[in-house]
Amino acid sequence: MEQQMGNQTPVIPTVQAPPTIKKWYQHKGIVSAIVLAVIAVAVVFLYFRQASVQNNKILNSTNQTSPVSLTQCKNDSTDKQGDCFQKYGEAAKDINVCKTIGVYPNDVSCAIGVAVALNDIKVCDQVSGFTSYEAPRYGVDACRMGFAAAKQNCELMPFSQAGQPTYRPERDMCFESVGQNTLDDSYCRQISSTSTMDSCFELIGLKKNDATLCDKMTLQREFKAECYMGIAKATKNSSICDKITFNPTYLASCYQSLNLTPPPSAVTTPTAPPTNSTSTTVQQNGSVDFTLDSLEATAKANQLIQFKGKIVNNTSQLVYLNGLGANLSYSELTEDSAPFFQLPAQLKPGESASGVIFTVSTSQIALPGDYTGSVQLQGGKDINASDILGDQTFYIHVTK
């Protein structure tokens, strides 16, 4: 019996674990799986967070939904490239990134972004070392102007890189830009050029549908009329049309744009303005001769040009000289009609007036090339007349 038991394998009795311990062991595999999953999620999160940090270098620092990679900026439309490259610079915060762009004015727009991000206008001084041809000549002041406009502080624009006072155009352009962006017409009143000031009032007035801003325009009455017309049409308010007391033709057009019958004082059939003159032969209306001493001028960037001329009243009646309308569609050039208002306000039969008629300022960013503009002498039989008395086309050749 003992021998048989010795040959048998001893049986070790099993011990049943307590219910709580047994339950923990049953769920141990699930707990381990959850822990591993949490660790995996954390690793993935950290990986993509690091990738996101890297991607943010090419994202707009103020608008994360707008990609601003170099490729996307280059493929953007021309009118949007400036903003895109500026945002790229703001995100990069490194002027060396802008240097590699090599194309003006995109490299300067990028530099403006870096200066804004670092809140340091001195960053713009480094633009003089850029590789694009135009940047060393024009980029520093262009960058400073962009920085000043972005900071809404045009007082930062009194001096150029060399420490010399700049001409007013850059400063005026800064005030106009800030005024449009903030819709604050107080910036317009700080503009030295009367024509640029008028443009500032008009643009803000149209955006705000505020006809009182059109009231503040002093020159270029056709633009003042267009300001009233635009607001009258947007607000469907014919009473704004009645402010066009200086031009019956525009008054009629304003009413017609609202599908209303013009008042009796309005002229319903406008007369076509005279064709621009391309020579010293002047357009005449009522035998008033308007000539410029020279129709051509040569200038460099950052220079003031004076256009002198003469006005002769060959009629038998008193003629009022009420305004000078200018058309110069270049942001790099600024026309100022203020000298015209230093001339006599009216001419008796046979009288004449001569002197500086208007000036044109070329900005620091004006590129070499040919620019064309025109001026119209406005006036007539009374102080409210806006007939075209004469028309001249002028040419400006900007050199290096």
Measured between alpha carbons, how far is 302 from 332 in angstroms, rounded to an integer? Answer: 10
Q: Is residue 196 part of a domain?
A: no
User: Is the model more confident about 337 or about 42?
Assistant: 337
Interatomic CA distance for residues 122 and 111, integer angstroms: 11
Which of 143, 164, 185 marks a domain boundary? Answer: 164
Angle at the Cα of 326 from the Cα atoms of 187 and 288, rounded to 5 degrees: 135
Separation between Cα atoms, residue 127 and residue 147, nearest integer Å: 13
Identify the domain containing residue 298 by its residue range. 288-399
Among 142, 164, 186, identify where a domain stops: 164
Summarize pLDDT for 168-184 with one digit per residue, the tens: 567 788 898 899 989 99
Task: Please provide residue 117's backbone torsions phi and psi, each rounded to the nearest 5 degrees.
Answer: -65, -40
Q: Centre a 10 Å sphere on the Cβ of residue 322 and count the other Cβ atoms it contains.
A: 21
pLDDT tens string 385-398: 888 899 899 999 98
Count of the separate structural domains present in the chain: 2
Residue 249's pLDDT band, with cuts at 50, 70 and 90, is confident
**47 assigned to some structural domain:** no
**CATH number for the domain that contains residue 312:** 2.60.40.10
Q: What is the pLDDT of residue 342?
A: 83
Three-state DSSP class for residue 352? strand
Domain membership of residue 1 (yes or no) is: no
- Residue 279, pLDDT > 80, answer no
213 within some domain: no
In a domain, 198, yes or no: no
Mean pLDDT of 253-262: 90
Higher pLDDT pick, 220 / 92: 92
Among the three residues 164, 186, 213, which one is the final residue of a domain in this structure?
164
Asked, for residue 314, whether it belongs to a domain, the answer is yes
Strands 387-399 and 296-300: parallel
Is residue 267 a part of any domain in this protein? no
**Nearest alpha carbon to residue 363 among 335, 394, 326, 327:** 335
Which pTM value belongs to this model? 0.51
- Whole-number pLDDT of residue 329: 76
| Strands 303-313 vs 352-362: parallel, antiparallel or unpaired | antiparallel
Give the confidence band of 400 by pLDDT, cuts at 50, 70, 90. Answer: confident
User: What's the average model confidence in pLDDT over 208-222?
Assistant: 84
* pLDDT for 270 beyond 50: no
Q: Is residue 22 part of a domain?
A: no
pLDDT (mean) for 327-352: 86
